[in-house]
């Protein structure tokens, strides 16, 4: 499998009044044309890892890494102008909540057209046609009406599909999806995921799927990195997640209520300080 993205020894640091806080501590992994999941609790550094790849960590945050290379080119050496060309065109990102990631005062159509025309030299009418096609691809009925609508007129599930359409229209090679379905209902989640899955497969893209939902990741991804306090504690194949070895992964799995195996009490995760200090596991395939 060819490697699209390779991240080596990534650190994200934030200076605080009490010294420097290391949010991500020496993470290395690679992403090919596959679906790679990153799971962990809030504060484990999974979202920051995704953002660091796109260099979206703002001051005073500090990103340090051996390299973050896309096709062998180190993204850390790029100027901000070059990065802007990479964001969207090469790597794009779907955020958690459509309510906060769509522009509330622009119509859906204008936003998608803007996303397309930033990266492709296309006339307005061409871009319009392309946008309608893209909305159809994410299973939006009546795309022409949706093009004219504002984000607040859309439901959560539609909003998220619009986000996906917008992120995929420049035809990126890598999609980073940061909790793309946690704001959605279970029934809509499945729908949004299968659309994303289909598009990613058809286009041969690499997908970095960030989520706190273990079950979801085990069903949706090929490979999973489990993060704990800024480090990768375990890497495993998604279908073998339930045979995971690390006590943290086991603890997380055990603390889920199980629909078909009722029990009086749920297992509570006891944290071992040694997990924090153990070196990061390498997440290369």
Partner 1 sequence: MSTAISIEKLSVYFGEHHDLFQAVKNASLSVEQGASFGLVGESGSGKSTILKAITGLAPQWDGHMAIEGADLTHKRDRAFYKTVQMVFQDPYASLHPRHSVDQVLTETLHLHGFDDINNRINKLLLDVGLGPAFRFRYPHQLSGGQRQRVAIARALAPEPDILLLDEPTSALDVSVQAEILNLLSDLRSEHGLTYLMVSHDLAVVAHMCERVAVMQNGEIVEIIDVADMRAGKTTQDYTATLLHASANRVA
Contact residues: partner 1, CB under 8 A: 41-42, 156, 185-191, 193-194, 197, 212, 214-216, 219-220, 251-252, 255-260, 262-269
Phi, psi at 31, each rounded to 5°: -130, 125
CB 116, min distance to partner 1, A? 28
CB 257, min distance to partner 1, A? 4
- Find out whether 131 and 109 touch, Cβ atoms under 8 Å: yes
Of residues 52 and 195, the one with the C-beta less far from partner 1: 195
CB 215, min distance to partner 1, A? 7
3-state secondary structure of 65: coil
CB 204, min distance to partner 1, A? 19
Give the HSE-up count for residue 69: Cα atoms under 13 Å, Cβ half-sphere.
10
> CA 234 to CA 62: how far, in whole Å?
25
> CA 174 to CA 176: how far, in whole Å?
7
91-127 residues labelled b (16+ CB within 10 A) or e (exposed): bbbbbbbbeebbeeeebbbbbbbebbbebeeeeeeeb
For tokens 């990613």, the residue is 200
Of residues 80 and 264, the one with the C-beta less far from partner 1: 264
Q: Which residues in 220-271 belong to E strands, given as ranges? A: 223-228, 231-237
> CA 197 to CA 51: how far, in whole Å?
21
Residues facing 206 on adjacent strands: 174
CB 238, min distance to partner 1, A? 11
Of residues 87 and 231, the one with the C-beta less far from partner 1: 231
CB 88, min distance to partner 1, A? 26
Of residues 72 and 262, the one with the C-beta less far from partner 1: 262
DSSP letter at 8?
A: E
Of residues 106 and 188, the one with the C-beta less far from partner 1: 188
Of residues 55 and 212, the one with the C-beta less far from partner 1: 212
Of residues 42 and 79, the one with the C-beta less far from partner 1: 42
CB 187, min distance to partner 1, A? 5
Instruction: Kindly give, in sequence order, each residue whose CB lies less than 8 Å from that of residue 83, ignoring residues fewer than 6 positions away.
Output: 54, 55, 75
3-state secondary structure of 14: strand
């Amino acid at each position: 499998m060819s490697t699209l993205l390779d991240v080596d020894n990534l650190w994200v640091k934030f200076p605080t009044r009490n010294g420097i806080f290391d949010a991500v501590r020496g993470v290395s992994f690679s992403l090919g044309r596959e679906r790679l999941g990153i799971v962990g609790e809030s504060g484990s550094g999974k979202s920051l890892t995704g953002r660091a790849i796109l260099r979206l960590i703002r001051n005073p945050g500090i990103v340090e890494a051996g390299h973050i290379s896309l096709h062998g080119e180190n993204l850390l050496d790029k100027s901000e102008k070059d990065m802007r060309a990479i964001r969207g065109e090469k790597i794009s990102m779907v955020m958690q909540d459509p309510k906060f990631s769509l522009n509330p005062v622009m119509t859906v159509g204008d936003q998608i057209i803007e996303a397309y025309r930033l990266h492709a030299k296309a006339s307005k009418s061409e871009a319009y046609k392309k946008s309608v096609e893209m909305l159809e691809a994410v299973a939006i009925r009546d795309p022409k009406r949706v093009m004219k609508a504002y984000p607040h007129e859309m439901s959560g599930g539609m909003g998220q599909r619009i986000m996906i359409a917008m992120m995929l229209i420049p035809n990126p090679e890598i999609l980073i999806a940061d909790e793309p379905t946690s704001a959605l209902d279970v029934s809509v989640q499945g729908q949004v995921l299968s659309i994303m899955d289909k598009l990613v497969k058809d286009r041969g893209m690499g997908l970095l799927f960030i989520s706190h939902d273990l079950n979801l990741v085990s069903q949706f991804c090929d490979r999973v990195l489990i993060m704990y306090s800024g480090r990768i504690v375990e890497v495993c194949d998604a279908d073998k997640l339930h045979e995971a070895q690390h006590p943290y992964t086991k603890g997380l799995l055990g603390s889920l209520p199980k629909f078909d195996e009722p029990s009086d009490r749920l297992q509570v995760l006891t944290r071992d300080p040694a997990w924090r200090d153990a070196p990061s596991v390498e997440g290369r395939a």
